Structure 1
Amino acid sequence: MDNKAEFDSLVPPQHFNRRSFLVTSLGAGFALATLPVAAQTAIHTDAAGLIEGEVKVPVHDGEMVAYRAAPAGLAKPPVVLLISEIFGVHEYIRDTARRLAKLGYFVIAPELFARQGDPRKIESVAEIIEKISGRTPDALVMKDLDASVAWAAKQGADTARLAITGFCWGGRITWLYSAHNPGVKAGVAWYGRLVGTVNEFTPRHPTDLVGELKAPVLGLYGGVDTGIPIETVDAMEAALKNGSPAAKASEIVLYDNAPHAFHADYRPSYRKEEAEDGWRRMLAWFRQNGV
């Protein structure tokens, strides 16, 4: 059984039958759970020279809202799927999309929590995990990302040059989608969880998928990340050496003194040196792998 069929079979039918999207617009600003924003470090990228804004992506059960940023006037730009943290597609993700678009990428950041609720409007991280991110089925995410790629192709983007990157929750999804879609050329996972609870929503984790990776993944992790123990990073690094050819071509970079969310320039966890180094490595990884 191929990965797409396997992911589909792992999700209870009721999750695919829901046709009500609770989030139909992205709004503005940062997620409530991330406030107050560290104004002294938060990066703002303007939209000059870009086509950007909310779009609706056709999916199997309706339309999913997403943020798109792309260079104006550039024919067939390569595609980057940008996957959010548990806070959804708030201003930090939209700004990151604009940064990538300024470099010539067609970036799409889908609101993958649209059926479960709006994490931007919830102040409690625990509540977001319990009610939204923790109840978003991996298989449905894979389907939505497939639909996002198909939508990008219809807009004239070059999906033969496809990359994916994501932060925290999105970092884990980056690993999963790089095992799911053979069209992905490169993945960059920023501090994505590698192991976890197995349930109906998350039946497999990155460490379970090293034999199925279709694209090489660059993992960027913090050495003092209290949510992702170093031993799990070490275990993943060892597992990659015995995985698929793409797994063997994958790499993990550990920033010894960085906490979780060290790229999140709007939060106290931001570490400028490590974030900038990781960004450079990400861009080099994309280029090295033809994106």
Structure 2
Amino acid sequence: MTRSATYVETPDGQMPAHLWLPEGGTGPGLLLLQEIFGISRYVQSRAEDLADLGYVVLAPEIYWRLGVSRVAEGPQAMDEGLALMGRVDWDAAVRDAGTALGDLRGRPEVDGGAGVVGFCFGGGLGFHLAAVEEPDALVAYYGSAIPQLLELAPRVTCPSLHHLGLADAYIDGDARAAMLDALRSRPATRVETYEGADHAFDNPDLPLHHADASAAAWEHTVAFLAEQLPAT
């Protein structure tokens, strides 16, 4: 597995991005969409995991218009991440993600289609992207914006896998129920839920990490990608 810095050409300039190649150098593509902390250590770790499975992974810096690559780790990280997310131009972020998906599809290393994997902020962004760009597959971990995007659910026709903790304090009550109902109504969509898991349960750098839910979700993710976007 190798990693390099790259960029995605947009109408407004060059969006910084990070590219991971599998050992063989080629494979299906995965657009990795960041959590609220940007291209964090955790996001980089998951990119490496996906590249080790045989995927070409592209992670654009969605906060590039704000001049931020990642939030520094520390006690202020959550407040800073939430503040950055609140400043994002959502429509521009969707366009940037779509441009990055097109860039990924056009890379010579990509062979066998291109999907999207998103975490938290990136899970919701990936869901919106799937409604307008039709990737070959979508994996969304606790997409925080999805409850506000449920009108797009009929337009998400690609095979999709969603992970949601049943103790998620960020997506709770009526929002969770509406989200689960809308997603489960779609024929190509799978939803996996995890008892006792809160938001961001997959991130081992946060106190919300739930080891059992993280391991189970990753197992589901690997199997889903092998089925929908197999890497040779």
The TM-score normalised by the length of structure 1 is: 0.72
Check if 1:147 corresponds to 2:147: no
1:163 aligned partner, one-letter code: G
Who is 1:239 aligned against?
182
| RMSD (Å) for aligned C-alpha atoms | 2.1
TM superposition shift of 1:163: 1.3
Check if 1:190 corresponds to 2:118: no
Give 1:98's match in structure 2, choosing from 34, 42, 48: 48
Who is 1:53 aligned against?
4
Q: Distance in 1 between matches of 2:220 and 2:49?
A: 15
Higher helix share: 2
Give 1:134's match in structure 2, choosing from 80, 86, 110: 86
TM superposition shift of 1:160: 5.2
Who is 1:82 aligned against?
32
Q: Distance in 1 between matches of 2:149 and 2:127?
A: 6
Give 1:73's match in structure 2, choosing from 21, 24, 42: 24
Assess, with a 3 A threshold, how the Cα gap between structure 1 residues 51 and 170 changes in structure 2: closer, same or farther: same
User: What is the correspondence of 1:1-291 to structure 2 with a 5 Å cutoff?
Assistant: 50-75=1-26, 77-118=27-68, 119-121=70-72, 123-130=76-83, 132-158=84-110, 161-182=113-134, 184-194=135-145, 205-242=148-185, 247-291=186-230
TM superposition shift of 1:230: 4.3
2:34 aligned partner, one-letter code: S
TM superposition shift of 1:165: 1.1
TM superposition shift of 1:194: 4.5
Q: Distance in 2 between matches of 1:241 and 1:94?
A: 30
Q: Distance in 2 between matches of 1:219 and 1:153?
A: 23
The TM-score normalised by the length of structure 2 is: 0.88
Secondary structure at 2:38 match in 1: coil
Identity of aligned residues (%): 27
Assess, with a 3 A threshold, how the Cα gap between structure 1 residues 56 and 290 changes in structure 2: closer, same or farther: closer
TM superposition shift of 1:195: 5.2
Give yes or no for contact 2:23–2:54 (8 Å, CA) kept in 1. Answer: no
Structure 2 residues not aligned, in runs of 5+: none
Give 1 or 2 for the bigger CA radius of gyration. 1
**Deviations, residues 160-212 of structure 1 (Å, cap 9, x unaligned):** 52111111111111211111112x1211111112556xxxxxxxx33121111
TM superposition shift of 1:109: 0.8
